[in-house]
Structure formats: structure tokens, C-alpha cells
Amino acid sequence: MRPAALDAWAEQDAWAGRKQFANIGDLDIAYVEISGAEPALLLMHGFTDTSRSFSLLAPHLAGRRLIMPDLRGHGASQAGKGCGIADFADDIAGLIRRLRLDRPVVIGHSLGAMVSIALASRHDELIGGLVVLAGTLKPDFGRDHPLVTNVQVLRDPISPTDPFYDWWHACLPVVPQAFLAGLAKDASAMPAARWRAILEEIRQADLTGAAQAVQARTLIIAGARDPLFGKAHQQVLQGALPEAVLVQAENCGHNPHWEDPALVARAVIEAFVG
């Protein structure tokens, strides 16, 4: 029998080979699809991550159709000229149309959560529900924020073993090292200039107005120990989305879908499928 650690490495190493491509506008957008029952769940990753971000969550959503894209400029997706929240949102709207998805439930983590809010406000007719996972309306990262200062000093080629990843991918020890190594490898393939350009767009983003236009049924999942978008950010989200249901992942930080994927899956299924 293969050791579990070797199985984890093999699964993570094979992730890139599962990607398909859809031409959206003038960009090839990569995605991983797992067949299953409708409604489809469309899962959007955070800054510097890829569809791999949901590889630990996917087994807990077994039986559901899953669509997991790489956002433009991440993973195997082409970068294009713009990298603003609206650019990402319009790409995903195009992917929903191209794949002829019937009002999928959109699940977004961190940057993906911001994109999901923009998508819901700009293309309400395309989605059947919204999950904001470790999200915010306004990141409010100052120039001295650790993320900003660490990204500023990155230089190409970025090493997958850069000590920065110990902070950037910090999570509970239950998260497999093979998974984290795969994330670091994916992120390191992005040019440092792209890291900085996307981060600047994130820093400038303010989705307060967009949230007020959201009509979709919404679930908010927040890590109680999230160092990036903590309690104050979640209070603002709840104020802007007063009909949303809030689920707290008590022992989790910024990545509940890595640290407690069973809880995240259960909350999504109870809200939109059960």
C-alpha cells in the first residue's frame, strides 16, 4: 500500500494535468471540472493561488458538479492587459456563458470573494447563489502592511521555498505539506511584477457599492482567526449584505477551506443544496 504522503504528492503533482481551457474574449482561461449534480458550484481562488486551492475541499463536495478556474494571470490562464476586480469578474461571467452553466452557486475565497461580489453585482442573472469565503469589501492594506512590504521585495525568479510562503500560506498543521508546496510552486511561476500589479488593484478596491447591488442569496464564511480580514471586515460585510447568513470557522485563519474543508462543504451544502 502506498503511504498517504506519497498519495498526496501524486494527487497534487497531477493537478495541472486536469486543466481544460475556454477562450473568453481574447484570453485562454484554464479550469478544472469535476462532473456531478447541478446546480454547479463555481469556485474562485485567492491572490497568487490557482484552482488547486480547492483540491482539499473538492472531495467533501463529492457528487456535485465543480468548476474551478484559474483567474487571469494565475496558474495556466493567460494574463491579459487588465488585472482589476472587474476584469476578473467579467472573465468569470464569460466562462459561465461559455460552459452554459445554469445559475451556478459562486464560491469565492479572499480575492475570489471580492470577484464574486463584483460578479453578483454586475451579472446577477448568471448566478444562483453567492459564498463569500474569507472576504472583504475593502482590504485597506497600507504601505507598511506585511503583504505589501514582502511583495515589494520579491524578485524573479521567485523561489517556491522563499520564507515568505511560511507567512503567506500560514495555516493549521493538518493541511498537507504536499498541497502547500504545490501552491508555492504555482505562485512562484507568476512574475513578481504581476504580483505587484494585482496587489495594487486589490489595495485600491472598494466594493461597498457593488455589495449594495447584490441580490443573490449569500453565505459568508469567516475564519475566526483570520489575520487579513478579521472581525471588523466581517462586520462591514454583514452590514452591506444584511440578509446573508454568517458561518464562523472558529479554529481557522484566512483559509478555512484548507484548514476545515468539511465545515466549509457542510455550510455550502446546507445553504444551497440540502
Is residue 4 in some structural domain?
no
Contact 182, 165 (CB under 8 A): no
Is residue 173 in some structural domain?
yes
Distances (CA, A) of 240 to 27, 30, 249: 33, 32, 21
Is residue 260 in some structural domain?
yes
Helix (H) or strand (E) holding 148: helix 146-152
**pLDDT at residue 4 is higher than 50:** no
**How many CA within 13 A on the CB side of residue 123?**
23
Angle at 39 (CA atoms; ends 238, 51), nearest 5 degrees: 75
**pLDDT at residue 2 is higher than 50:** no
Rounded to two decimals, the pTM is: 0.95
Q: What is the pLDDT of residues 193-218, one digit of tens each?
A: 999 999 999 999 999 999 999 999 99
Is residue 7 in some structural domain?
no
Strands 27-34, 20-24: pairing is antiparallel
Is residue 8 in some structural domain?
no
CATH number of the domain within which 107 lies: 3.40.50.1820
Q: What is the pLDDT of residues 61-95, one digit of tens each?
A: 999 999 999 999 999 999 999 999 999 999 999 99
Q: What is the pLDDT of residues 158-202, one digit of tens each?
A: 999 999 999 999 999 999 999 999 999 999 999 999 999 999 999
Q: What is the pLDDT of residues 33-54, one digit of tens each?
A: 999 999 999 999 999 999 999 9
Measure the CA–CA gap between 162 and 157, rounded to whole angstroms: 11
Considering only CA atoms, give the Rg of the chain.
Answer: 17
Q: Identity (one letter) of the amino acid at 20?
A: Q
**How many CA within 13 A on the CB side of residue 94?**
19
Contact 202, 137 (CB under 8 A): no
* CB neighbour class for 23 (10 Å; exposed up to 12, middle 13-18, buried from 19): exposed
Domain that holds residue 24: 20-272
pLDDT of residue 7: 52
Is residue 126 in some structural domain?
yes
Total number of domains constituting the chain: 1
End-to-end CA distance of the chain: 36
Distances (CA, A) of 126 to 81, 93, 97, 121: 25, 7, 8, 10
Is residue 13 in some structural domain?
no
**pLDDT at residue 6 is higher than 70:** no
Q: What is the pLDDT of residues 11-40, one digit of tens each?
A: 777 888 899 999 999 999 999 999 999 999
Q: What is the pLDDT of residues 103-148, one digit of tens each?
A: 999 999 999 999 999 999 999 999 999 999 999 999 989 999 999 9
Is residue 5 in some structural domain?
no
